[in-house]
Amino acid sequence: MKRLTFQNALFNQFHSTLLLALCLIFPSAAIASSIVKSIEKSSITADGNVSGEPTDILITFDRSLDPFVDGRSLAAGDQIRVIFPPEFDLTDLDPGYPLRDVPWPLPPVPPLPPMPCVPGNLQCTTAVILHGWPQQPFFPPALYHALSVDPADNALVFTALQDLVPAGPTNPGIKQLLLILNGLTNPQPGEYVLRVEAQTGPGGAWESGSGLYQVLPQTRPSVNVTSVFVAGLAGLEDSGDPPCLSPTLPPNPYNPVYQHTLVGDNAPFVWTLLLWGKNNEPLDDVSLAWSSDSHARLVRGNKAIGHLFIDAPAGAGGYGVEINPEGCTTLLPGAPVIAGTPGIGPQPVGRLDLLFHAGDVAGDYTTTLSINNGNSVELVVTAE
């Protein structure tokens, strides 16, 4: 990697400080003017935001992840550009992980040696555009966009190969960008400004926004939603494998984050959460210790590691969560999608399966899971 100059370091620090100051002084204006809602570690690795580890970023746009809310559009030939500070040098990728779009179709029999840029063997630097839930990109990515690097701006560029437009809740448009930058290594701990410029406005007008990407000195505990087991656990797979061991690599059109069911019924899909601890260790054998109808502690051994809260409609009763309804293993030898990537995976991870049961009142039931000293995720079930 190229050495960062002193002047570049000062430049990046100035922009980070300026962005923070603007958000403090003009919070509503800063939010309204930005198409970027958040920049964080993705859900497929424990250490995508850790100094010295491969860079793995999830950028969320300022549109609700509710699939009934339209996301952004991008016309054929138009671009989304993610502009990195100089500490992330896109012109100096590890040659073992060249820039590639994820190809398709996969052959019916896996080739030997394995293809280098497919889920489970992401021996590449790649990125995909997501509809708003894990492992559901515009698919196959190589038919929807072309990836390139603009060295003048140090930008990762998506160029649409066909119109990317909302088409209902199974295809709500552009909500997120997943950057699996295996050829990059996170720099020293600190906060770095990433800028997004996109021709997603009316008639292809340019829109923009910035956000802070925090590089940590070491792994923090995390709870992460995955979609790869949704179809198998719901009996929608015909692979012949047991439901617990029937992962579906992208695309995953079944959305576990926003679900609909009838009053008093189970949600259609089991939630599968991936859990890592502060030392990158898998958090398996997690149980729930309920203190009320709407709160439980996540417990591992004799130690509380997090919390589960349910925000139910007023007056609702009879709602709850069943843990591990299919009796699946709580330890995965490798995290889905990234598991077989040479030099990076597998990363063993704890697995927690939960099935939500809606109460006796119609409305939104929002379940929040948080991990101590880490992050949190929200999952919504609407009872009708």
Shared-domain flag, residues 196 and 331: no
32: pLDDT confidence band, cut at 50, 70 and 90?
very low
Please, are residues 56 and 181 in contact by the beta-carbon 8 Å criterion?
Answer: yes
Shared-domain flag, residues 248 and 177: no
**Mean pLDDT score of the chain:** 89
Q: Is residue 35 part of a domain?
A: yes
Most confident of 102-116, 136-150, 235-249: 136-150
Query: What pLDDT score does 241 carry?
Result: 66
Q: Is residue 1 part of a domain?
A: no
Please, are residues 383 and 362 in contact by the beta-carbon 8 Å criterion?
Answer: yes
Q: Select from 215, 246, 264 the last residue of a domain.
A: 215
Shared-domain flag, residues 211 and 226: no
Shared-domain flag, residues 247 and 265: yes
Shared-domain flag, residues 27 and 156: yes
Please, are residues 133 and 169 in contact by the beta-carbon 8 Å criterion?
Answer: no
Shared-domain flag, residues 59 and 26: yes
Over residues 49-56, the mean pLDDT reads: 97
State the total domains in the chain. 2
Over residues 183-196, the mean pLDDT reads: 98
Q: Is residue 314 part of a domain?
A: yes
CA distance linking residue 90 with residue 85, whole number of Å: 10
Over residues 143-155, the mean pLDDT reads: 97
339: pLDDT confidence band, cut at 50, 70 and 90?
confident
CATH number of the domain where residue 144 is located: 2.60.40
Shared-domain flag, residues 185 and 39: yes
Please, are residues 43 and 57 in contact by the beta-carbon 8 Å criterion?
Answer: no
Q: Select from 215, 241, 256 the last residue of a domain.
A: 215
Shared-domain flag, residues 236 and 203: no
249: pLDDT confidence band, cut at 50, 70 and 90?
confident
Over residues 75-102, the mean pLDDT reads: 96
Element holding 24 (H helix, E strand): helix 6-25
Over residues 367-378, the mean pLDDT reads: 98
Shared-domain flag, residues 112 and 232: no
Q: Give percent of the chain with pLDDT exceeding 90.
A: 77
79: pLDDT confidence band, cut at 50, 70 and 90?
very high
Shared-domain flag, residues 103 and 181: yes
The yes-or-no verdict on residue 104 having pLDDT over 50 is yes
Q: Is residue 302 part of a domain?
A: yes
Query: What pLDDT score does 113 carry?
Result: 57
Element holding 27 (H helix, E strand): helix 27-32
Lowest mean pLDDT among 173-187, 236-250, 295-309: 236-250
Shared-domain flag, residues 328 and 269: yes
Residue of 212, 244, 205 lying closest to 228 (CA atoms): 244
Query: What pLDDT score does 68 carry?
Result: 96
Over residues 6-26, the mean pLDDT reads: 44
Q: Is residue 34 part of a domain?
A: yes
Over residues 159-179, the mean pLDDT reads: 97
Over residues 328-345, the mean pLDDT reads: 90
Coil, helix or strand for 142?
Answer: helix
CATH number of the domain where residue 332 is located: 2.60.40.10
Range of the domain at 282: 222-383
pTM over 0.85? The answer is yes
Q: Is residue 338 part of a domain?
A: yes
Q: Select from 215, 238, 259 the last residue of a domain.
A: 215
Q: Is residue 277 part of a domain?
A: yes
Over residues 261-265, the mean pLDDT reads: 98
Please, are residues 19 and 210 in contact by the beta-carbon 8 Å criterion?
Answer: yes
CA distance linking residue 252 with residue 133, whole number of Å: 9
Q: Is residue 241 part of a domain?
A: yes
CA distances 118 to 122, 202, 246, Å, are: 5, 34, 17
11: pLDDT confidence band, cut at 50, 70 and 90?
very low
HSE at residue 174, side-chain half, CA atoms within 13 A, is 26
Lowest mean pLDDT among 29-33, 84-88, 150-154, 191-195: 29-33
Query: What pLDDT score does 297 carry?
Result: 98
Query: What pLDDT score does 48 carry?
Result: 96
The yes-or-no verdict on residue 105 having pLDDT over 90 is no
Shared-domain flag, residues 76 and 95: yes
